Amino acid sequence: MSGLDDNLLDEADETVRVRFVVNGRKVACEVAPRDTLVDCLRNALELTGTHAGCEMGACGACLVQLDGRAVHSCLMFAVQADGATINTIEGLTESGLIADLQAEFHRRNALQCGFCTPGMLINAHELLSQTAQPSREDIRDALSGNYCRCTGYEAIVDAIDAVAKAHSENGGAT
């Protein structure tokens, strides 16, 4: 190989150290500059609740909270999140709101195969954190970037609506 080819191979094998606060814990890992955040979370940090679906930001299975906002982790390079605070579905399970959403999804059979559920819950959590009593139209709009092939969405909307109503009736606690 020529010197140029050797340099390209060396660059392709380079890794970058990134640091995050993930689910309240400081972590660091070595990633290739081209590694997506979803791949880093799943492979390097073994947080498999975040799913890689379409890898184009269309299905919502890869949603995580990055500095408090829902983002598609398949559309971000891990190096772009260096220094960020990230919450995956595993990290949100301690929250009363997420626990209530999970219970209501289960009660209403709104999680059949479960592949889309973590992204749905991330979006629902963000919506209910910002809007105390969203309309069913607001809920559908918030979920418009999440694909589900099993439930037909009505049970999901019902579950989110029920949690929103319960939280507003009880002053934010169920």
Q: What phi and psi, each to the nearest 5 degrees, are found at residue 82? A: -55, 130
37 touches 48 (CB < 8 A): no
pTM of the model: 0.86
Give the tens place of pLDDT for each residue, 126-138.
999 999 899 999 9
Write down the pLDDT at residue 174: 47
Say yes or no to pLDDT of 165 above 50.
yes
Give the tens place of pLDDT for each residue, 21-41.
999 999 999 999 999 999 999
CA atoms lying within 13 Å on the CB side of residue 150 = 10
Give the tens place of pLDDT for each residue, 54-93.
999 999 999 999 999 999 999 999 999 999 999 999 998 7
Burial environment of residue 102 by CB neighbours within 10 A (0 to 12, 13 to 18, 19 or more): buried
Residues 6+ apart with CB under 8 A from 26: 19, 20
Give the tens place of pLDDT for each residue, 42-55.
999 999 999 999 99
